[in-house]
Every structure is written in structure tokens, then in C-alpha cells.
Amino acid sequence: MNPSYTLRNKRVWVAGHRGLVGSAIVRRLQSEDCEIVTAPRDSVDLRRPDQLEKWMRDVRPQAVFLAAARVGGIHANNTRPAEFIYDNLAIQTTVVEACRRSNVEKLLLMGSSCIYPRLAPQPIPESALLTGPLEPTNEWYAVAKIAGIKLGQAYRRQYGCDFISVMPTNLYGAGDNFDRLQSHVVPALILKAHEAKMARAPQMEVWGTGAVRREFLYVDDAADGMVFLMKNYSDEGIVNIGTGRDVPIIDLVGMVCKVVGYEGTLRFDTSRPDGTPRKVVDVSRINALGWNAKISLPDGLAMTYRWFLENVAPEKRRVA
Ligand SMILES: NC(=O)C1=CN([C@@H]2O[C@H](COP(=O)(O)OP(=O)(O)OC[C@H]3O[C@@H](n4cnc5c(N)ncnc54)[C@H](OP(=O)(O)O)[C@@H]3O)[C@@H](O)[C@H]2O)C=CC1
Ligand SMILES: C[C@H]1O[C@H](OP(=O)(O)OP(=O)(O)OC[C@H]2O[C@@H](n3cnc4c(=O)[nH]c(N)nc43)[C@H](O)[C@@H]2O)[C@@H](O)[C@@H](O)C1=O
């Protein structure tokens, strides 16, 4: 299949357009000469084939970014396994089959770096998929995401659908979920450091030991990489997207406190899970295709905190 695909003058559906990744893809598509279409959340539940297929018949999108999913951090994944496996299976099967029936020209599915085995070689190559046991804190979500990969590959083989799958590493940035319990580590630490600073608290809490390592890709980089793949990649193999560099959580905490301006001490709550000891993806495949991440972690954290202050900070809400 010809890897090059144009978005020019196409109707491009961003499923999950209000989320962290979906809203970043909408921002990125502003510089493409295409028509962005979105499904109204109140009338189109992407777990419902009847609702989606009616909308698809009316709108007839030609290219689709599937950024809709049940998503959360380690606590959310570890405590809500049924929602994470059911919702993500339901959304993926509904959207993939609806795209086939509507003859969508190209669909980009989103997996996650958490699909790889807990103790995969680091950096993690795409070939590590299904070579070992999963990380228990998010295996339900991971199994659903692996099913999504297999769906896309099966539809390419049997029906000739141009469906591709990208495996993003941990993402963060403007538009993130800042819920104290359900969020990922970056927004959670920004919220906690900010609140500790505002309250002049002597200490802030960090989950786990802080010794595990994670890779963080700014969401606008991720969106740019996904548009790049939509335009330049067409094959059944999955493609990692990340920076290729990881940091210990303890270092991340220091960077967040520096950006926020919090100078108190840290209390490590080791009753909270660490999750996988290390998760950094091998980005040689996407680099070889011609794409590289551009936004550094310090710059990304500064942009995220600025967005938090303008859109989420508790004192902002009180003023509003
Ligand atoms: N954030 C991260 O660190 C990573 C994310 N990913 C993947 O990227 C994709 C986007 O994640 P992210 O942007 O962080 O998630 P968010 O939770 O920020 O956004 C998910 C979006 O999906 C929508 N959605 C959820 N369920 C339904 C439904 N039943 N019908 C319609 N819309 C629904 C949500 O709508 P509403 O707001 O109304 O609930 C929301 O807009 C996911 O596939 C995720 O697995 C992969 C790796 C890392
Ligand atoms: C992207 C990936 O994200 C998830 O995996 P994860 O990377 O383990 O998730 P996380 O960002 O929530 O935690 C990263 C690390 O950070 C530590 N940590 C410290 N303090 C806080 C804290 O306050 N909140 C959170 N959430 N974590 C904290 C936490 O203990 C852990 O060691 C998957 O569920 C799945 O969603 C997935 O695909």
C-alpha cells in the first residue's frame, strides 16, 4: 500500500477531540488544509455501534485519528480494571468496524507503551510485543490495547483497510487530566506541588519509591508525530513514538518543583504502587521514517504548568 497519504481537502475525524491527545491533534491539524470533524459526545457514545454508524453515514469522514479511550494513571488502571478493559475494547471494536463499513481511507489507532512486557528490554523495541508477562497494575488496559493492534492488523489483512497503530510513551501537556487520583504522574505532581506552594506546606507527597524510570513525550510532539505517520506510514507493524530518553521519578519531581517554585521536602508514600521499573521506547523506527521529538522535558513542564495556571489552578476557578 502506498505509504504517502494526503490530508488536503479531506474530512478528518478526531475521535476523543476534547482529550489530552485529541485536542492536541485538533491544534496540529489547524496547519493542514483539511476539514476537521468531531462527534458530539452527548449523542455519540463510541461504545455504541448504532449511534456511531448513524453519525458516520451523515458525516462520512475520510481519515480518522482514534484518540478516544478510557485513560488514567496507575491508580485508575489498578482500581478500575473492568472499565479499562471493557470501554477500550468496546470503543476500538466499534470504531474499527464502523470505519470499514464507511470505507474510511485511513485510520490511526493508538496503543501505549504499557502494552509491552513488564521486564521488556530497554529501550523497548516494537518486536518485544507479547514476549513476556504484562505489568499487573495496567494489564487490563494493556490487553485491550493489544486487541486494538490486532484488530487493525486483521482488518488490513482481510479487508485491505489502511489502518495503522502507534505506541505512544507516557504523554503530558496542555489539556491533561489533573484529577488528584485518576491522573498520570506529571499532572498529579504539578497539582500537588502547586497546592503545597500556595498553602506554604513544608512537605508534598509523592507516590511509590521515586526510583522507577519513565519517558515523557509532550503531547504536541505526539500529535505532530501522529500526523506524520498518517501521511507517511502504511503497514501492519506497530510504531513507537517517544523521546527515547527516560528519567527517574525522583528527578521528575525535582524538575516539577523547580518549574512550580516549590521548595519543601518530599514524603514518599510507598503504599502506592511503583508500577513497571522502567519504560522507555526504542524510537529508531519512527526516527528512520523521518520524525523526531523536539520538545524537551523542562520546556514541556513549563508549558504544562502555564496551561494549568490558566485553566485549572484552584484559585483560578475561585476567581472565575
Ligand atoms: N495520556 C497518556 O499518557 C497516553 C495516552 N495514550 C493513548 O492516547 C489516547 C488518548 O489518550 P488521552 O488523550 O490521554 O485520554 P483523555 O482521557 O485525555 O481523552 C480521552 C477522550 O476519549 C473520550 N471518550 C472516552 N470514552 C468515550 C466514549 N465512550 N465515547 C466517546 N468518547 C469517549 C473522552 O471524552 P470525555 O472527555 O467526554 O470523557 C476524552 O475526550 C488513548 O488511546 C490512550 O490510550 C497512549 C499512551 C500514553
Ligand atoms: C502511560 C501509561 O501510564 C500508566 O502507567 P505509569 O507510567 O505507571 O503511570 P503513572 O504516570 O500514573 O505513574 C508513573 C510513576 O509515577 C509515580 N507517581 C509518583 N507520584 C504520583 C502521583 O501523584 N500520581 C501518579 N499517577 N503517579 C505518581 C507512580 O507511582 C509510578 O511509579 C498506565 O497505567 C497506562 O495508563 C499507561 O499507558
pLDDT in tens, 285-301: 999 999 999 999 999 99
Q: Cell digits for 193? A: 506541588
Mean pLDDT (whole number) for 33-45: 96
pLDDT tens-place string over residues 75-128: 999 999 999 999 999 999 999 999 999 999 999 999 999 999 999 999 999 999
Pocket of ligand 2 contains residue 138 by CB under 6 Å: yes
- Strands 246-248 and 170-172 come out as unpaired
**What contacts 54, CB < 8 A, 6 or more positions away?**
none
d(CA 156, CA 100): 10
Q: How far apart are CA 178 and CA 184, in angstroms?
A: 8
CATH no. for residue 16? 3.40.50.720
Q: What is the DSSP string of the chain?
A: --S----TT-EEEEETTTSHHHHHHHHHHTTSSSEEE---TTT--TT-HHHHHHHHHHH--SEEEE-------HHHHHH-HHHHHHHHHHHHHHHHHHHHHTT-SEEEEE--GGGS-TT--SSBPGGGTTSSPPPGGGHHHHHHHHHHHHHHHHHHHHH---EEEEEE-EEE-TT----TTTS-HHHHHHHHHHHHHHTT-SEEEEES-S-SEEEEEEHHHHHHHHHHHHHH--SSS-EEES-S-EEEHHHHHHHHHHHHT---EEEEETTS---SSEE-B--HHHHHHT------HHHHHHHHHHHHHHHT-HHHHHH-
**Residue 172 cell numbers, joined:** 503530558
Beta-carbon contacts of 57 under 8 Å, excluding residues fewer than 6 positions away, are 102
Ligand 1 mutation pick, 21, 89, 140, max ligand atoms within 8 A of CB: 21
Ramachandran quadrant class, 97 (left: phi over 0; alpha: psi -120 to 50; beta: rest): alpha
Predicted local distance difference test score (pLDDT) of residue 277: 97
| Mean of pLDDT values over 198-208 | 98
Residue 74 lies in a domain: yes
Q: What is the pLDDT of residues 151-162, one digit of tens each?
A: 999 999 999 999
**Has residue 317 got a pLDDT over 70?**
no
Domain assignment present for residue 22? The answer is yes
List residues bridging with 168 in a β-sheet: 241
Q: Is residue 263 part of a domain?
A: no
Is 284 annotated in a binding site? The answer is: no
In a domain, 223, yes or no: yes
Q: Which of the residues 5, 116, 141, 218 is marked catalytic?
A: 141
Can you tell me the mean pLDDT for 260-266? 98
Question: Per the domain annotation, does 189 fall within a domain?
Answer: no
| Average pLDDT score over residue span 303-318 | 87
Task: Pick from 124, 149, 178, 184 the residue to mutate for probing ligand 2's pocket: most ligand atoms within 8 Å of its CB.
Answer: 184
Q: Tell whether residue 112 is among the known ligand binding residues.
A: yes
Q: What percent of the chain has pLDDT over 90?
A: 97
For the segment 130-150, the average pLDDT, to the nearest whole number, is 98
Ligand positioned closest to the Cα atom of 73? 2
Query: Does a structural domain hold residue 247?
Result: no
- Pairing type for strands 246-248 and 213-218 reads antiparallel
Q: Note the pLDDT of residue 318.
A: 56
- Residue 320's pLDDT is what? 46
Pairing of strands 265-269, 106-110: unpaired
Clarify whether 141 is annotated catalytic: yes
Task: Answer yes or no: is the C-beta of 68 below 6 A from any ligand 1 atom.
Answer: yes
Kindly state whether residue 103 falls inside one of the protein's structural domains: yes
pLDDT at 296: 98
Domain hosting residue 116, numbered range: 11-173+216-241
Q: What is the pLDDT of residue 81?
A: 98
* Residue 186 domain-assigned (yes or no): no
d(CA 158, CA 26): 31
Per-residue pLDDT, 28: 98
Our count of domains for the chain comes to 1
Write down the ipTM of this complex.
0.98
Average pLDDT (189-199) is 98
Contact 142, 71 (CB under 8 A): no
Across the chain, mean pLDDT equals 97
Inform me whether the pLDDT recorded for 314 exceeds 90: no
